[in-house]
Amino acid sequence: MKNRTVASWQENGMLYTLTATPIDGEIVTDIANVTTYDRSKEMISVFEYLGNRTPATGVGAKIYDYAKSVGAKTDVAEIDTTSYKGKIMLYERGFLDEYFNKTETSETPQTVEEDDDLPF
């Protein structure tokens, strides 16, 4: 098997080299044989899902309660940034897609205009 150098850089007196090795010694060119990554199973925070925007007050608690009620997969991560240090909840992207699509449609008021001129 022949390794391929993918990237190489120098930093702080060190040389870093990222290499790739083909599986079974062959480069796969047949797309039917490539395993695809299912983004719906990716675990992300609500902050990441919203495009790195903080959700409105109380939204996180509502999402957590809904996740528990439907048995959605959850996880906890600890982060340390300049703006926040502590634990955050992680959810599957597919669950957040479902939640936000569901809440957008359920919170949209459905009004029916009645026409009193109709005979029925």
15-40 burial code (b ≥16 CB/10 A, e <16): eeeeeeeeeeeeeeeeeeeeeeeeee
Query: Using DSSP, how many helices (H) and how many strands (E) does the chain show?
Result: 3, 5
pLDDT at residue number 111 = 39
pLDDT at residue number 62 = 94
The residue segments making up the domain with residue 64 are 38-107
Decide if 45 is inside a domain.
yes
Decide if 32 is inside a domain.
no
Decide if 50 is inside a domain.
yes
| Token pair recorded at residue 84 | 């926040």
Give per-10-residue mean pLDDT for the chain (120 aa): 76 82 58 64 91 91 94 93 91 92 51 48
Decide if 62 is inside a domain.
yes
pLDDT at residue number 103 = 52
pLDDT at residue number 65 = 95
Decide if 27 is inside a domain.
no
pLDDT at residue number 19 = 81
Full-model pTM:
0.56
Q: How many domains are contained in the chain? A: 1
Decide if 78 is inside a domain.
yes
Decide if 20 is inside a domain.
no
pLDDT at residue number 32 = 61
| Token pair recorded at residue 73 | 């997969």
What is the rounded distance in angstroms from the CA atom of residue 41 to the CA atom of residue 94? 6
Decide if 2 is inside a domain.
no
